[in-house]
Amino acid sequence: MKVTVIGAGYVGLTVGACLADLGHTVVCAEKDRARLARLREGTVPFYEPQLPEIVRRGLGGGRLTFSGVGEDAADQSQVIFIAVGTPPSADGQPDVSAVDEAVRVIAPHLDDGQVLVLKSTVPVGTTDRIEAVLRHDTGAHRAVACNPEFLREGSAVADFFHPSRVIVGTHSRAAAEVLTALHQPLECPILVTAPRTAEMIKYASNAFLATKVSFINEIAAICEQVEADAATVAAGMGSDPRIGPHFLRAGIGFGGSCLPKDVRALAALAREHRVTPSLLEAVLRVNDAQRQQFMEKVEAALGGIAGKTLAVLGLAFKGGTSDVRESPALDIAGRLLAGGAVVRAFDPAAEEGAAETLPALICCPDAYEAAEGADAILILTDWPDFESLDWKRLRKRVRTPVVLDGRGLRVAASAIDEGFAYIGQGPPKAR
């Protein structure tokens, strides 16, 4: 099939490159000229495991090309995905102006054999609205569908090839058939629904994941008071298949460009329709409180942070990505700087984005440099590499052997063995 993807960000580029890898002919249209030039050279402008190889393979095989928006012959594509950003606006709802702009550019070229697909996360009712706009502007019926994305940053390629499900929201039988055929090789359940239902599935999924994280964070806070071990409580709960083991890692809370934004958007949608989003608001409140509670732990452990040197390990919103959007780690690093601490930070991929936001950070080439002269080590992102740190080496670099683990990594035993005081979830573990 010939496919056009408008927007070569995390979602658009991953989907486009992976579809090309499946054998389709894909054009990714990107309006940012600098990003476009880098993509044409085969450079992926963000950190995403496996994606650079897949992009280069697509480019080399001629199945993947890049163009400016409106420059491609999208009129020859059977499927046109819109995967542009929908950042939060002031009222909590996503700003869909980039989606509307993409529709405006594409509309004059659409014919009735083509399917226009919204990949971007859009407010409920957007797919129906766009279908109506196209009918009004072109005087003809156009096949429009919502196909929400469930890729996680850091494992987006693996998630594309092994999806748990594909959701297709459309009123058009032709669109349902084309999108079912496109996803058939992925061998997963395909659920065809009305567009509004598909849009809600996306919001409800992210809101539920966020709810699990806030739930376990509240449980962890109770565990701390009653001297129970939160990680073991999560493991014990998670082995019940009705609960499941995922998204039960307590820590400094969820961040990123999706979970916080989508919970806020769903709460705003609820209020707009006079439904009180009590649970969603509590999920956000608990999440906000995590950062403050972590700061209090740091203050208590060090007797204040002004003038202290702190080694911050991790700045990205989670391990496996260079993304610092709504990163709890970056937020905490900012609070530490504001409190008068010297922050020596290391992140395997997110240094550039973090330094733009917080120029006062001292960015270090590795964890050991970051630990030089530190009064404490703070683990703020769950990079797997942090689980194999050499604590003997770290012990030689720090001024005071204290580690505060904001991500519940498996480091307590090795840190304690080397003489560190370990403060994680639950009561402080003694040396």
Which residues are identified as catalytic? 258
Minimum CB separation from ligand UGA for residue 385, in Å?
Answer: 15
Integer Cα distance of 186 and 166 in angstroms? 9
**Radius of gyration of the chain, Cα coordinates, nearest whole angstrom:** 23
- Site map for ligand UGA, 40-59, x if CB under 6 A? --------------------
Q: Does 344 bind ligand UGA (CB under 6 A)?
A: no
Q: Does 258 bind ligand UGA (CB under 6 A)?
A: yes
Neighbouring CB atoms inside 10 A of 378's CB total 30
- Site map for ligand UGA, 400-429, x if CB under 6 A? ------------------------------
Candidate list 46, 161, 247, 368; residue touching ligand UGA; CB under 6 A: 247
Where helices occur in 41-193 by DSSP H, the ranges are: 51-61, 97-106, 126-138, 156-161, 173-183
Q: Does 228 bind ligand UGA (CB under 6 A)?
A: no
Whose tokens are 């950070």? That residue is: 361
Q: Which is nearer to ligand UGA, 224 or 382 (CB)?
A: 382
Q: Is the dihedral of CA 356, 361, 362, 363 positive or negative?
A: negative
The answer for residues whose C-beta is within 8 angstroms of residue 378's C-beta and 6 or more apart is: 298, 310, 311, 312, 313, 332, 336, 403, 404, 406
Candidate list 114, 206, 211, 309; residue touching ligand UGA; CB under 6 A: 206
Minimum CB separation from ligand UGA for residue 206, in Å?
Answer: 5
What one-letter code names the amino acid at 70? G
Nearest 10 degrees: Cα torsion 50, 52, 58, 61: -110
Residues numbered 282-301 forming contacts with ligand UGA, rule: CB under 6 A: none
Minimum CB separation from ligand UGA for residue 390, in Å?
Answer: 24
Q: Which is nearer to ligand UGA, 39 or 151 (CB)?
A: 151
Q: Does 24 bind ligand UGA (CB under 6 A)?
A: no
Q: Which is nearer to ligand UGA, 73 or 279 (CB)?
A: 279
Q: Does 161 bind ligand UGA (CB under 6 A)?
A: no
Whose tokens are 């950190």? That residue is: 47
Q: Does 150 bind ligand UGA (CB under 6 A)?
A: yes
Q: Does 318 bind ligand UGA (CB under 6 A)?
A: yes
Q: Which is nearer to ligand UGA, 103 or 324 (CB)?
A: 324
Q: Tell me if residue 15 falls in helix, strand or coil.
A: helix
DSSP-derived secondary structure letter, 386: G
Q: Which stretch binds ligand UGA (CB under 6 A): 98-106, 149-157, 235-243, 372-380?
A: 149-157
Q: Which is nearer to ligand UGA, 140 or 158 (CB)?
A: 158
Give rounded-to-5 percent helix, strand, coil for the chain: 45, 15, 40
- What are the backbone angles phi and psi of residue 312, rounded to the nearest 5°? -100, 120
Spatial contact of 154 and 130, defined as CB atoms under 8 Å apart: no
Written as six digits, the tokens of 34 are: 């600098």
Q: Tell me if residue 384 falls in helix, strand or coil.
A: helix
Q: Does 153 bind ligand UGA (CB under 6 A)?
A: yes
Candidate list 254, 383, 391, 422; residue touching ligand UGA; CB under 6 A: 254
Candidate list 7, 123, 251, 424; residue touching ligand UGA; CB under 6 A: 251
- Partners of 378 in beta bridges: 312, 404
Q: Is the dihedral of CA 151, 155, 157, 161 positive or negative?
A: negative
Candidate list 110, 223, 259, 336; residue touching ligand UGA; CB under 6 A: 259
Q: Does 317 bind ligand UGA (CB under 6 A)?
A: yes
Give the binding-site size for ligand UGA (rule: CB under 6 A). 22
Minimum CB separation from ligand UGA for residue 110, in Å?
Answer: 26
Q: Does 316 bind ligand UGA (CB under 6 A)?
A: no
Q: Which stretch binds ligand UGA (CB under 6 A): 24-32, 252-260, 299-307, 349-357?
A: 252-260
Query: Please, what is the angle between helix 278-302 and helix 195-226, to 10°?
Result: 40
Spatial contact of 115 and 175, defined as CB atoms under 8 Å apart: yes
Minimum CB separation from ligand UGA for residue 340, in Å?
Answer: 27
- Would you tell me which residues interact with ligand UGA (CB under 6 A)? 121, 149-153, 206, 209, 213, 247-249, 251, 253-256, 258-259, 317-318, 382
